[in-house]
Structure 1
Amino acid sequence: MPRYLQIVHAIREKINQGEWVIGSKLPTQRAIAEQFHVNRSTVITAIEILKAEGLLEGKAGSGIYVVNNRWSLSAAISPPDWEDLTQWSLQPPSDHTVQTINELESRKDLIQLSKGELEPDLFPKAEIATALTRVSSQLEQFGYGNGLGDIGLRIEISKHMQQYGVCTAPESILIVSGALQALTLIAVGILKKGSTIFLENPSYLHSVNLFRTAEIAIKPISVGENGLNIEELFQQKIIKGSSALYVNPTYQNPTGTTMSSEQRKVLMDKCRYFQLPVIEDDIFRDLWIDERAPAPLKTLDPFGQVLYVGSFSKTIDPGLRIGWLAGPEDVIKRLSDVRMQTDYGSSYISQALVRELLSSGLYEQHLQKVRTRLKEKREFLLQLLRLHLSEYATWRAATGGFFIWVSLHKKTNMHQFFRTCLNNGVLINPGFIYNDSQPAIRLSYAYEEIGKMEEAIIKVKEILKNG
């Protein structure tokens, strides 16, 4: 069968089986061409046949969409328009660029300067194999649990937090499937509809619709070289019981900034005065490179004002889906109840694995290797930036975490810049997805190998030079 007819039959099958419903957008012609190992002209031929059959329709500047199936073409009653129905859902879609990045971060043919995860060589295979062997001899019936998570893991996390200076009982810790779930639980389980969340700007939370879903107003507060602009924050209208602060004070994502100990004390003093609850996102803390970061805000919290969020997604692997939330016991009980209404808890195997890594010292052993490698890669990327981009940009060298925040000198169409980088095989995170109106990009040194980082920065230089 000719290739174009293979594509026609494959698309028809997707439509007829209800996998691609009316309103669905087809993958790009490039993606289809790669899937079938053909050139784009073959894909175009197949699409034109399906258009003639009335199954597909092109929308200028948007793409190709399914507009009919064999049932709607032969029946007087049309099937439900799922595309229209999803527009009214509580969860709005992500920004188109964010969707694109999410789809492309698994592509092996792209140089990944966007990924916020460790390189494959830093996956702790030996440590996990050892931990799994030990855990397998301890397995009992899993069950759903009580929503709080495995008590053994909560005990180990409690001990782990003591290293930061945070004293939290296991009863005040909730195991979650990553930091975003912790924040989602807070948004739907504590913050009331119509309240205001003061949110760093730029912040990775601007790239997701987490608080908007819960009908919470977002008030951006700028981030400078020393983290959150405290003076700007307390010039805002703060309403007791209807306001909260989200802050990522250690190796902030995306800027990489870290708030000093002095600024942390000032912030917490003012938050106590204004009775402003604080959500502290501290998922990068264990990834210090030059020296340990200042103690968490939670150490300055004798009254239970701070909800502390941690995660093992950045330090071990995001596929484990294990994080935690620490706070007042009553709040944790409330959120565990909300958690039980959604998914009944995180995977027991993942929890047991992380528990063993912590208790055995394998986690700390792994972290030492990670910090050494991250320092090498950060220094290499900084060297590349000095060598190739000094004429075009300035940047902040983070003292931990994964990212370097690069601010471009010239006014630049960042949407076009993102697409041009992509067309040249380089995937970056443009600043606008974090709500930054200035021309900036977030570069990750954590994932990609050194040789490819160099190739990517040279390409970025050429794009800036010719732009």
Structure 2
Amino acid sequence: MWIPDRQSKKPLYQQIADHLEQRISYGEYPPGSLLPSERKLADQLGVNRSTVILAFAELRSMGIIESRTGSGTRVSKTKWGATPKHTPNWSRYAEGGSFLPNPPFMRRIREALHQHPSLIDFASGELSADLAPNDEITKLMSEHKYTSYLGYDNPQGYVPLRQALVSYLERHRGIHTTESSILITSGSQQSLYLITQCLLSPGDAVAIEDPSYCYSLPMFQSAGLRLFRLPVDSSGIRPEDIRALYKKHRIKMVFMNPNFQNPTGMVFDAERRKQLLDLASELRLPIVEDDPFSLTAYDGVPPSPLKSMDMIGSILYIGSFSKIAASGMRIGWMVAPNSIVERLADARQQMDFGLSVIPQQVAAQFLNSNHFVPHLERLRMQLQFKRDLLIEALQKELPDLVTFSIPQGGLHLWCKLIPEVHDGKLLEEAIRRGVVFVPGSVYGSDSGYIRFTYARAKAEEIGPGIAKFAEALRELIGEKPAL
């Protein structure tokens, strides 16, 4: 009996749809014949019913099957009759285009979380609801009257928010800038997307850290860029590696996350920072600095951004509210020369005519309020507490099978597994037991690494979640837990 291949890059629902379409075309299910129910087919194939629902929806969109309440799902008579009514082959369109889908592991994680909301989530790189400033935002919205004008705003971003960011960046990040050098975006990923689409051309060579969150983003390959890796050690990248890549490949730009780097948690070494800025000046090489985690520093002393040391304008600086407030606010920013800001604002206006003005107003009020700093202090304390719970659980459950360096900020713990384990098999076994994480290979690393994110899971879930992961790992390596 046919079953879908969970190791395939093709989503499970698409495999099922393709298989059913083939059986129908072979005449195994003639026109008008009744297909198995969603529940029965899900049981036969060992998948969640929602996966079958998606497969049926795909076939309905192509006119191959029809569903009627009380009559079940049948093969369409008109599709296969003498005068068929053809609909576009949407699945082929979905496979086309230049914008690539997310990596298979990320799609599998998203599918698992959608199908099983009770999974303990060590994969999602966002704050849990209890870490967000919900009460503070609610209070601000009740105290302030927001604009009655709901038309298109300035494509560069809401002016009072850019003014608030000028003060915020100077006070908290040591960056001196002006409102004309700030572009408001929907988050770090939109900032990166605009850079890759508007400032670079297909075939250009760029350098990224290895491992790196950038490696998990298909937008670089979608833009036709050639990616070259900069190995990350405990002190970050080595500037001399950039020189070597420049000589060999004429790289046009470097993408970095120097503070509490995702996924390693590393902080870029101070001496290497100076060497990097000198090299960028010498080669006239732009550096894109993504800085989402600095203000989570658990000792309350955030490491300085590269941009604060940038005296000649080599750094494009990216930040957002996602990791310090709430991802759902969808507010990010970029600090860049005004000519770059105007170019990207023009491109973004072609995409969406700018962000909604109301979230920008809320963000401006929050930055200017007395709630912001106390929120950061609470966030740091709670993130450190969750980090410690995670470390304690790993030391209890897997003392000899996992190694890691303890991060001093951020949301992630980067772990190396001592045994050799297949990434996909470990992920599937963990999902089966009720927990999900991100395999390290998603970020460009060799197999044998994993990223645990401790910001999303509830504190009381962390210990049980690691226990489930330990069961999955021991199952695969054939080791029984010690009594």
Task: Within 5 Å, give how 1:290-309 maps onto structure 2.
Answer: 290-309=299-318
Structure 1 equivalent of residue 43 of structure 2? 40
Residue 71 of structure 1 deviates from its aligned partner by 4.1
Sort the Cα spacing of 1:235 and 1:43 in 2 relative to 1 into closer, same or farther, 3 A. Answer: closer
Name the TM-score, length of structure 2 as normaliser: 0.82
1:401-441: CA deviation from partner (whole Å, max 9, x where unpaired): 10000101121111111111111111111111112113111
1:355-391: CA deviation from partner (whole Å, max 9, x where unpaired): 0001112222211111111111111111112222221
Sort the Cα spacing of 1:222 and 1:177 in 2 relative to 1 into closer, same or farther, 3 A. Answer: same
Q: Is the 8 A contact 2:245 2:251 kept in 1?
A: no
Within 2, Cα distance between the matches of 1:461 and 1:42? 28
Residue 449 of structure 1 deviates from its aligned partner by 1.7
Pairing 1:413–2:422 present: yes
Residue 465 of structure 1 deviates from its aligned partner by 2.5
Sort the Cα spacing of 1:169 and 1:418 in 2 relative to 1 into closer, same or farther, 3 A. Answer: same
Pairing 1:263–2:272 present: yes
Structure 2 equivalent of residue 141 of structure 1? 149
Sort the Cα spacing of 1:141 and 1:81 in 2 relative to 1 into closer, same or farther, 3 A. Answer: same
What is the letter of the counterpart of residue 370 of structure 1? L
Q: Is the 8 A contact 1:392 1:464 kept in 2?
A: no
Pairing 1:461–2:470 present: yes
2:206 match: secondary structure: strand
Structure 2: gaps of 5 or more residues? 1-13, 21-35, 66-72, 478-483
Q: How many residues align?
A: 427
Q: Is the 8 A contact 1:243 1:277 kept in 2?
A: yes
Residue 398 of structure 1 deviates from its aligned partner by 1.0
1:397 match: secondary structure: coil
Sort the Cα spacing of 1:67 and 1:179 in 2 relative to 1 into closer, same or farther, 3 A. Answer: farther
Sort the Cα spacing of 1:73 and 1:327 in 2 relative to 1 into closer, same or farther, 3 A. Answer: same
Sort the Cα spacing of 1:68 and 1:162 in 2 relative to 1 into closer, same or farther, 3 A. Answer: farther
Structure 1 equivalent of residue 403 of structure 2? 394
What is the letter of the counterpart of residue 396 of structure 1? S
Percent identical residues: 29
Q: Is the 8 A contact 1:23 1:81 kept in 2?
A: no
Q: Is the 8 A contact 1:227 1:259 kept in 2?
A: yes
Structure 1 equivalent of residue 96 of structure 2? 88
Structure 2 equivalent of residue 110 of structure 1? 119
Q: 1:78 aligns with which of 51, 67, 86?
A: 86
Structure 1 equivalent of residue 253 of structure 2? 244
Structure 2 equivalent of residue 156 of structure 1? 164
1:290 match: secondary structure: coil
Structure 2 equivalent of residue 365 of structure 1? 374
Residue 95 of structure 1 deviates from its aligned partner by 1.7
1:234 match: secondary structure: helix
Q: 1:322 aligns with which of 331, 344, 348?
A: 331
Pairing 1:168–2:177 present: yes
Sort the Cα spacing of 1:146 and 1:120 in 2 relative to 1 into closer, same or farther, 3 A. Answer: closer
Within 1, Cα distance between the matches of 2:42 and 2:250? 59
Structure 1 equivalent of residue 287 of structure 2? 278
Within 2, Cα distance between the matches of 1:403 and 1:242? 29
1:383 match: secondary structure: helix
Sort the Cα spacing of 1:391 and 1:330 in 2 relative to 1 into closer, same or farther, 3 A. Answer: same
What is the letter of the counterpart of residue 292 of structure 2? I
Residue 132 of structure 1 deviates from its aligned partner by 0.7
1:342 match: secondary structure: helix
Sort the Cα spacing of 1:408 and 1:80 in 2 relative to 1 into closer, same or farther, 3 A. Answer: same
Q: Is the 8 A contact 2:78 2:84 kept in 1?
A: no
Pairing 1:341–2:344 present: no
Structure 1 equivalent of residue 386 of structure 2? 377
Pairing 1:100–2:100 present: no
Within 2, Cα distance between the matches of 1:304 and 1:186? 16
Residue 451 of structure 1 deviates from its aligned partner by 2.5
1:289-321: CA deviation from partner (whole Å, max 9, x where unpaired): 134232111112122211100000111111111
Sort the Cα spacing of 1:39 and 1:67 in 2 relative to 1 into closer, same or farther, 3 A. Answer: closer
Sort the Cα spacing of 1:326 and 1:425 in 2 relative to 1 into closer, same or farther, 3 A. Answer: same
Structure 1: gaps of 5 or more residues? 1-19, 27-32, 57-65
Residue 77 of structure 1 deviates from its aligned partner by 5.6
